[in-house]
Amino acid sequence: MANKVMDKENALLAMPDAEYMNAEQLSFFESLLRAERLKVLAHLDELKKEIHRSDISGDEADKAMREEELRLLFRQIDRESRLLPKIDDSLKRINNGDYGYCVESGEPIGLRRLLLRPTAERSIEAKTKQEQLEPLYRKK
């Protein structure tokens, strides 16, 4: 299966720049995003089941370990829950015809970047600029 995906990715990368975000590429990314969405939802369900496993018996060390485990589970749930809207936004951009183009400049984001981060909304240049400005607006 991994080889099949790699072959598909290589085929997409081999396409001419003039064919950027053609039907085949959009279909590939839509399938990739939908699969990722299902994977995240399934993992969230597993994490929630793990939280509801109420094994709080034992000595203080056992209880402390369980509390730390719960804290890590909640952090993971929070992080993955924030990924779902990004996936949904990417799927909307595919339907709107905006997927693969920077929300700031309108320039192509690039297949290599999208293969690494299918939810990317900005080109490398725009993302770098955003990250440089973030500390200026961060609450202290």
For residue 19, the model assigns a pLDDT of: 92
Is the separation of the CB atoms in 21 and 114 below 8 Å?
A: no
Is 28's pLDDT higher than 90?
yes
Q: How far apart are the first and last CA of the chain?
A: 47
Is 138's pLDDT higher than 90?
no
For residue 34, the model assigns a pLDDT of: 97
The model carries a pTM of 0.81
The larger pLDDT score, comparing residue 130 to residue 89, is at 89
pLDDT in tens, 78-103: 999 999 999 999 999 999 999 999 99
Query: For the domain 2-137, what is the CATH superfamily, name and number?
Result: DksA, coiled-coil domain (1.20.120.910)
Least confident range from 1-5, 38-42, 96-100: namely: 1-5
The domain locations on the chain are 2-137
Q: Tell me the helices (H) and strands (E) count for the chain, helix number first.
A: 5, 0
